[in-house]
């Protein structure tokens, strides 16, 4: 299990991303819609913690993320090892600075940051499907490129427990 500090999307973007999850599911590509507990929400993680003190993390992250909309532009599909497929956003220096500030603030809480979320290693992404077999990539790509490009707004932030799906708004 992990605790993620996430940007969450406005209603329009959330609806579009959930519709994409639904389309992929119809095509036989399992997405976050049905993964594990089934309570996943479209998001962009700024930091993922392996160990943490919840109250300290909440207190550290809150001032950095409240009432701060972030505009993103998705125009590419990406994959990580083991078949994780995701939308790649173009991000400006403001998003990179926000992510670095969040990581710095969390460091002061003695939380253990997952190594892929270190500034300079972090690859901004919005996960679509956690385990896509190679044979399904053409189906996934065709469905994704039917909806891209996508202008998106993240209008709020939250802590999310990946093991349970529980969300704590920031």
Structure-token pair, residue 27: 């095509």
C-alpha to C-alpha distance for 70 and 155, rounded to whole angstroms: 6
Tokens (6 digits) for 149: 């490009």
pLDDT 10s digits, 26-78: 999 999 999 999 899 999 999 999 999 999 999 999 999 977 799 999 999 99
| Cα angle 152-139-32, degrees, rounded to a multiple of 5 | 50
Residue 153 belongs to what H/E stretch?
A: strand 150-161
Q: What was the pLDDT predicted at 38?
A: 87
Measured in whole angstroms, how far is the alpha carbon of residue 121 from the centre of its chain?
15
> Tell me: domain 3-164, CATH 3.90.1140.10, correct?
yes
Model pTM? 0.95
pLDDT, averaged across the chain: 96
Q: pLDDT, tens digit, for every residue of 70-114?
A: 999 999 999 999 899 999 999 999 999 999 999 999 999 999 999
pLDDT of residue 68: 75
d(CA 37, CA 130): 13
Q: 7, 46 in Cβ contact below 8 A?
A: yes
């Amino acid at each position: 299990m992990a605790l993620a500090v996430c940007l969450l999307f406005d209603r329009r973007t959330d609806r579009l991303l959930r519709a994409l999850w639904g389309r992929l599911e119809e095509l036989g590509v399992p997405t976050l819609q049905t993964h594990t507990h089934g309570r996943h929400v479209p998001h962009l993680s700024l930091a993922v913690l392996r160990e943490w003190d919840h109250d300290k993390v909440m207190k550290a992250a809150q001032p950095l993320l409240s009432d701060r909309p972030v505009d993103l532009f998705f125009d590419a599909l990406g994959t990580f090892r083991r078949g994780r497929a995701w939308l790649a956003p173009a991000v400006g220096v403001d998003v990179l600075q926000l992510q670095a500030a969040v990581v710095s603030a969390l460091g002061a809480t003695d939380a253990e940051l997952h190594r892929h979320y270190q500034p300079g290693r972090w690859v901004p992404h919005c996960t679509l499907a956690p385990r896509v077999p190679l044979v399904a990539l053409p189906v996934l790509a065709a469905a994704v490129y039917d909806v891209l490009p996508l202008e998106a707004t993240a209008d709020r932030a939250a802590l999310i427990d990946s093991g349970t799906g529980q969300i704590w708004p920031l």
